[in-house]
Homo-oligomer: A and B are copies of this chain.
């Protein structure tokens, strides 16, 4: 396991977008920007069942993400690791918490009536930082 250094933890705590890379069915990489949360030394993100990255992570838990400080993009953190937990429990409350962090709104405003939210917990195995 790798420790998130105190020097760059603020990048994950702040309103910065993580770009998360997962593996498609053929093993090719895919990447997309996501909101992220940090819980102790784990990174959490919230998605919805049926999305490509959810299908990818359910097939292969290996994941990477990189996040640059929006105020100084030469300062960033890169994390490689694995999904250690997937849960639906608390996922609606958690996406509201993410909306508070990123949008300053009490409720996540873009929820579809039929979507099932899901929280992925990522445990870092390798971390690089810059700046």
Listed from nearest, the 6 A-B pairs whose CB atoms lie closest are A19-B19, A21-B21, A21-B29, A29-B64, A28-B62, A21-B31
Interface of A is mostly: strand
Which partner residue on chain B sits nearest A75 by CB separation?
A: B33
CB-CB contacts below 8 Å: A54-87 with B: 62-66, 68, 70, 73, 76, 78, 80
**A80 and B33 contact, CB distance less than 8 A:** no
Q: Residues of B contacting A20 with CB < 8 Å?
A: 31
Contact with B along A13-50 (1 / 0, CB 8 A): 00001011111100111111100000000000000000
State in angstroms the CA–CA spacing of A78 and B21 once bound together.
11
Q: Which of B27, B65, B68, B76 contacts A23 (CB 8 A)?
A: B27
Which partner residue on chain B sits nearest A70 by CB separation?
A: B70
Q: Which of B24, B27, B64 contacts A31 (CB 8 A)?
A: B64
**B73 and A17 contact, CB distance less than 8 A:** yes
- Given the known inter-chain contacts A23-B27, A27-B27, A66-B19, please indicate yes or no for A32 contacting B73, CB distance below 8 A: no
Which partner residue on chain B sits nearest A110 by CB separation?
A: B74
Q: Residues of B contacting A62 with CB < 8 Å?
A: 27-29
State in angstroms the CA–CA spacing of A17 and B23 once bound together.
21
Residue of A24, A29, A32, A33 with most chain B CB atoms under a 10 A cut-off: A29
